[in-house]
Amino acid sequence: MNTYQAVYHRWLKCEDLDPSLKQELNHLSDETEIEERFYRHLEFGTGGLRGVIGAGINRINIYTVRRATEGLARYLRKNVQDAEARGVVIAYDSRHMSAEFAGEAAGVLAQNGIKVFLFQELTPTPILSFAVRYLGAAAGIVITASHNPPEYNGYKVYGGDGGQIPPITANLILEEINGVENELLVKALSKEEGIEKNRIFFLGEDIVQAYTNRLLSLSLQPDRIKQLDDFHIVYTSLHGAGNKPVRKVLKELGFAHVHVVREQERPDPNFSTISSPNPEDQKAFEMAIKLAHRVNADIVLGTDPDADRVGVAARNSDGWYVVLNGNQTGVLLLHFLLEQRKACGKLPANGVVLKTIVTSDLGRWIAASYNVTTVDTLTGFKYIGEKMNEYEQTGEYTFLFGFEESYGYLIGDFVRDKDAVQAAMMASEMAAYYKTKGLTLYDALQQIYETYGYFLEDLTSFTFAGKQGLEKMEQIMNRLRREVLSTIGNQQVKNVIDYLPGVHGLPPSNVLKYVLEEGSWLAVRPSGTEPKIKFYFSAVGSTYAEAESKLQQMKSFVSALVNSTA
DSSP state of 164: B
Interatomic CA distance for residues 63 and 101, integer angstroms: 9
Q: Do residues 507 and 525 lie in contact, with contact meaning Cβ atoms separated by under 8 Å?
A: no
Give which of 350, 358, 305 is closest to 330, Cα–Cα. Answer: 358
How far is the CA of 21 from the CAs of 40, 212, 447, 454, in angstroms? 18, 40, 56, 53
Catalytically active residues are 146
Q: Provide the CATH number for the domain formed by 454-564 in this structure.
A: 3.30.310.50
Confidence of residue 147 (pLDDT cuts 50, 70, 90): confident
Sequence-distant (≥ 6) Cβ neighbours of residue 222 within 8 angstroms: 216, 253, 254
User: In the predicted model, what is the mean pLDDT of residues 392-413?
Assistant: 97
Q: Cα angle vertex 46, ends 41, 52, to 5°?
A: 45
Q: Establish whether domains 38-203 and 454-564 are of one fold.
A: no
Confidence of residue 382 (pLDDT cuts 50, 70, 90): very high
Rg of the chain's alpha carbons, rounded to an integer? 24
pTM over the 0.85 mark: yes
Give the neighbor-by-neighbor strand order of the sheet with 408-410.
373-377, 351-356, 398-404, 408-410
Interatomic CA distance for residues 266 and 268, integer angstroms: 6
Express each pLDDT in 197-246 by its tens digit: 999 999 989 999 999 999 999 999 888 787 788 999 999 999 999 999 99
Whole-number pLDDT of residue 190: 96
Confidence of residue 269 (pLDDT cuts 50, 70, 90): very high
Class of domain 38-203: alpha beta
Interatomic CA distance for residues 551 and 561, integer angstroms: 16
User: In the predicted model, what is the mean pLDDT of residues 517-539?
Assistant: 90
Domain ranges for the chain, please list them.
Answer: 38-203, 211-452, 454-564
Q: Cα angle vertex 514, ends 449, 528, to 5°?
A: 95
User: In the predicted model, what is the mean pLDDT of residues 501-509?
Assistant: 91
Confidence of residue 377 (pLDDT cuts 50, 70, 90): very high
Give which of 170, 190, 68, 63 is closest to 118, Cα–Cα. Answer: 190
Q: Do residues 53 and 46 lie in contact, with contact meaning Cβ atoms separated by under 8 Å?
A: no
Express each pLDDT in 274-308 by its tens digit: 999 999 999 999 999 999 999 999 999 999 999 99
User: In the predicted model, what is the mean pLDDT of residues 5-30?
Assistant: 94
Q: Where are the alpha helices (DSSP H) in 55-124?
A: 62-79, 83-86, 98-111
Whole-number pLDDT of residue 1: 53
Average pLDDT, the chain: 95
User: In the predicted model, what is the mean pLDDT of residues 124-134?
Assistant: 98
Least confident of 81-90, 146-155, 332-341: 146-155
Interatomic CA distance for residues 108 and 542, integer angstroms: 58
pLDDT exceeds cutoff 70 at 529: no
User: In the predicted model, what is the mean pLDDT of residues 138-144?
Assistant: 98
**Cα-to-chain-centroid distance, residue 73:** 24
User: Which of 29-33, 135-139, 489-493 has the largest mean confidence?
Assistant: 135-139
How far is the CA of 118 from the CAs of 101, 141, 207, in angstroms? 12, 10, 12
* CATH fold for domain 211-452: Alpha-D-Glucose-1,6-Bisphosphate; Chain A, domain 3 (3.40.120)
Express each pLDDT in 431-465 by its tens digit: 999 999 999 999 999 999 999 999 999 999 999 88
Confidence of residue 2 (pLDDT cuts 50, 70, 90): low
Sequence-distant (≥ 6) Cβ neighbours of residue 345 within 8 angstroms: none
